[in-house]
Amino acid sequence: MSDKLNLGVIIGTTREGRWGPVPAKWIADLAERHGGFEVDLIDLLDADLPQHLAERDMWSTEGDPTGPVAALSERLHRADAFVVVTGEYNMSIPAPLKHAIDYYMNEWAAKPVALVTYGGKTTGGQNAAQHLRQIFPELRTFTIRNSIAFPRFYQHFDANGDFTKFDEEEPGATKLLEELEWWGRALTEARRAAPLPSPY
């Protein structure tokens, strides 16, 4: 039996022309090489969640949710930790990412999340990161201290169209993954020892 943590790497934007899959694959590959994780790359575009949140799909409702909701639920449940990769739109997170977060509750609980952001401004998506740091505690989810940001990412491509900043960010990403693994193992053991008390 593997002692690796199950890591969900979530591509948080679905709009056409998005850059999100590129840094998501980069951090997923680093996590695979790190050795402490089994990686599941989760693309919210493929998840195809319904835009209308029907009663049967609400996390608080007993019963059978619709297929896409159940499929993503299973993948989120399986994860011991997450990396959310997202751009910043209008000073915040993309609507599909908030939509996906709001569909679920227990799937996120007592698990750590690392944030990788990018944006067209010098902040590199850190406004989106700060909003996620406000949102995830409501789900009893822990956002780790370290994060990665790519400011004005569109300015850093070579003649072949390859992004040139990944190498210099790799040491920071390694630290991020080390911190994420520590929290992932600590919270996995805590969940195994006792269920998280209900907040209600």
Q: Tell whether 199 is covered by a domain.
A: no
Smallest Cα–Cα separation from 133: which of 122, 145, 149, 121?
A: 145
Looking at residue 56, what is its pLDDT?
65
Q: Band the pLDDT of 67: cuts 50, 70, 90.
A: confident
Looking at residue 121, what is its pLDDT?
86
pTM of the model: 0.94
Q: Tell whether 198 is covered by a domain.
A: no
Q: Tell whether 93 is covered by a domain.
A: yes
Q: Tell whether 145 is covered by a domain.
A: yes
Q: Tell whether 109 is covered by a domain.
A: yes
What gap in Å lies between CA 96 and CA 101, rounded to an integer?
Answer: 9
Q: Tell whether 77 is covered by a domain.
A: yes
CA distances from 93 to 61, 119, 166 (A): 26, 11, 22
Sign of the dihedral defined by the CA atoms of residues 63, 69, 73, 74, in that order: positive
What average pLDDT does range 75-84 have in this prediction? 98
Q: Tell whether 90 is covered by a domain.
A: yes
**CATH assignment at residue 79:** 3.40.50.360
Give the structural domain span for 126.
Answer: 5-193
Looking at residue 1, what is its pLDDT?
47
CA distances from 52 to 99, 115, 119 (A): 10, 27, 28
Q: Tell whether 155 is covered by a domain.
A: yes
State the total domains in the chain: 1
**Rounded mean pLDDT of the chain?**
93
